[in-house]
Amino acid sequence: MGHEMKQDEEQRSGDRFPPTRRSVIEAVRSIDAEERESARESLCAAYWKPVYKYVRLRWNRPANDAQDLTQGFFMELLERELLDKFDSKKSRLRTYLRLCVDSFVMNQDKAGRRQKRGGNVLHVALDFSAAEEELVGAAIDPASIPSPGSLEEFFEKEWVRSLFSLAVEDLRNLCEERERTRTFHLFEAYDLEGDEKISYDQLAAEYGIPVTDVTNALAWARREFRRLALDRLRELCGSEEEFQREARAAFGWDAK
């Protein structure tokens, strides 16, 4: 992410992050249709890209087949209520979903199913062309693809990448709502674009503002980004223990 985002001691020891979103594991079982749909959308938004890329690599499928399998997998996941079988005490959700993907693809092959799934049945924008571009640029050794360990690591990295991308969009929307678009542009330029040579002084000169304004804007943006990323993560965890464990494993952050 360009410059490594530095968390000062005040941010590290801040208030415990409140679980503002109900876990999708609970919400998909809700009697409220709107809550169920929102949970499904959150689940698909976080996992569809990792699933698509995983199917492309693990199962060596062409793009069109991988797209159909990805949509078909999420349809089956929800229609068969496979999340009801997930136990956060036994495994991580991402591990469970990856194994479900393997099972789904194998069953599709055995049944000889090649059903095309027209339209976006998941009500989540699936930009497969963008996912394909990211896959082409992925730093993974083709010779290591058959290795289960390398595929598990790849899936995990793509999952973290997906969560970070969603948090970036959340931050963009938050900045627009609060009329702080300049703050997002500063965050984007310094923390996201990967230019190691850019400095606070350069940004201050470019935007015609004091360096202290740049410092304060970036501190706020990083704090909000961290909150939003943990918010997304919390929603995908089945328990507080899993949330704390995943925050450290995925982000290297203490969720407290």
When pLDDT is cut at 50, 70 and 90, the band that residue 168 belongs to is very high
Task: Quote the tokens at residue 251.
Answer: 């982000």
Cα–Cα–Cα angle for 43, 12, 20, rounded to 5 degrees: 35
When pLDDT is cut at 50, 70 and 90, the band that residue 159 belongs to is very high
Q: In this structure, which topology does domain 20-129 adopt according to CATH?
A: Rna Polymerase Sigma Factor; Chain: A (1.10.1740)
**Phi and psi (nearest 5°) for 141?**
-75, 115
4 or 253, higher pLDDT: 253
pLDDT in tens, 98-129: 999 999 999 998 877 655 544 445 556 688 88
- Highest mean pLDDT pick, 16-20, 24-28, 144-148, 154-158: 154-158
Contacts 24+ apart (CB under 8 A), 174-178: 174/224, 174/228, 175/221
Q: Report the amino acid identity of residue 154.
A: F
112 or 151, higher pLDDT: 151
3-class secondary structure for 115-141?
Answer: CCCCCCCCCCCCCHHHHHHHHHCCCCC
- Spell out the domain ranges in the chain: 20-129, 161-256
- For 12-35, b/e burial (b = at least 16 CB within 10 A) is eeeeebeeebbbbbebbeeeeeeb
Residues 78/114, Cβ–Cβ less than 8 Å: no
Q: What integer pLDDT is reported at residue 174 of this predicted model?
A: 97
75 or 124, higher pLDDT: 75
14 or 101, higher pLDDT: 101
Task: Quote the tokens at residue 104.
Answer: 């789904």
